[in-house]
Amino acid sequence: MRMPERMPEWMPDMQMHECLSGWLDWLGLERRARPNTIAAYRNDVVMALAFLTEHLGQEPDLAALAALRTADFRAWLAHDAQRSERSQGSRDGQARSRARRVSAMRSFFQFLSLRHGVSASALRQLTPPKTRKRLPRPIASDIARAAPTEMAALAHDPLGALRDEALFTLLYGAGLRIGEALALDLRDLDRASEGTLRVVGKGGKERLVPLLPAVLAILQTWRRAHPCPAPDAPLFVGLRGKRLQPAVARRVMQTWRDQSGLDPSATPHALRHSFATHLLEGGADLRAIQELLGHASLSTTQAYTLADERHLLAVWQAHPRARK
């Protein structure tokens, strides 16, 4: 069947609307997905359902979704690939987008299977597009060590300087994700007096992160100056005393990055990559790094070994005997 150049706007019927709403609530409340992920997944599934409406000749209900074959999903993926080729962007970027759409559909059908008994066996046989694994891009150790102090010097007031130094010291000194750090409350730091911080990561999974004495000292300095000392107050706050937003922290680092002449890859998440890479270069065990980062799978942590191998290869190529 020949598909139209552009999918028409699609509005789900009441049953499918309820399924979509239930799935989105499930993503946020039970799977602890981030808002950006939920928004992207919603768009992906709505577009897929719009395609299936054209593909099947009518809007699919739960029975029609349960009857889908792997060939139907392959037709959807082929159509998506054709649409991606007409858009701008690299091939790898297009493949990553299509892989995300497969992941979104799998999540949607997982929900339908749990709540409505819809089988997802045909979708599980679909092979997502292959993408190149992105290697972490760490910041050089001397730059990463100086970064919190240099960012603090850019603050407009002493309180903001203390906050920024504490936040970015924590990101590099403990390897936290920016969302994990900004979700902390003062009580979490108060419980870390012995040097171990409880962090809630992806999927609501908790882990204990040891704090170096230098990191704990800077955090405690910020704690003493905190404008709202109540234990249930956010650890990192903005100008109005509310929880600091990730976009604000990213702007702080972007200003520092631009003034330092660094690559755009120098983001708050790059400090987490730097934490792991520098531990690995110092001889830390990969399993220990996995625990510190809160990775569910060791394969995720192994990306740092690939990045380190590139570093070692560059060093080896500098050897006099490597030259012809």
CATH number reported for the structural domain that contains residue 163 in this entry: 1.10.443.10
* Prediction pTM value: 0.59
DSSP-based helix, strand, coil % in the chain, nearest 5: 65, 5, 35
The answer to whether residue 289 sits within a structural domain is yes
Instruction: List, in order, residues 6 or more apart from 91 with CB less than 8 Å away.
Output: none
Q: How far apart are CA 115 and CA 56, in angstroms?
A: 24
Q: How many domains does the chain have?
A: 2
Shared domain check, 209 and 242: yes
Torsion of CA 205, 250, 209, 135, to 10 degrees: 80
Shared domain check, 276 and 159: yes
Shared domain check, 152 and 260: yes
Tens of each residue's pLDDT in the chain, 324 residues: 333 334 334 455 567 888 899 999 999 888 878 788 899 999 999 999 999 999 999 888 888 999 999 999 999 988 888 876 666 555 656 777 888 898 899 999 999 999 988 887 888 887 766 666 565 578 888 999 999 999 999 998 999 999 999 999 999 988 898 999 999 999 999 988 778 889 888 878 888 888 889 999 999 999 999 998 899 999 999 988 899 999 999 999 999 999 998 888 889 988 988 888 888 777 777 777 777 777 766 666 666 665 555 554 454 455 565 555
Annotated catalytic residues are 177, 202, 269, 272, 295, 304
- Of 124, 151, 182, which one is at a domain's C-terminal end? 124
Per DSSP, the three-state class of 53 is helix
Shared domain check, 164 and 47: no
- Of 124, 152, 168, which one is at a domain's C-terminal end? 124
Question: What is the distance between the terminal CA atoms of the chain, rounded to a whole angstrom?
Answer: 59
CATH number at residue 118: 1.10.150
H or E element that contains 249: helix 246-260
Distances (CA, A) of 188 to 219, 251, 292: 11, 25, 17
For residue 153, how many C-alpha atoms fall within 13 Å in the half-sphere facing its CB? Answer: 8
For residue 298, what are the domain limits?
141-316
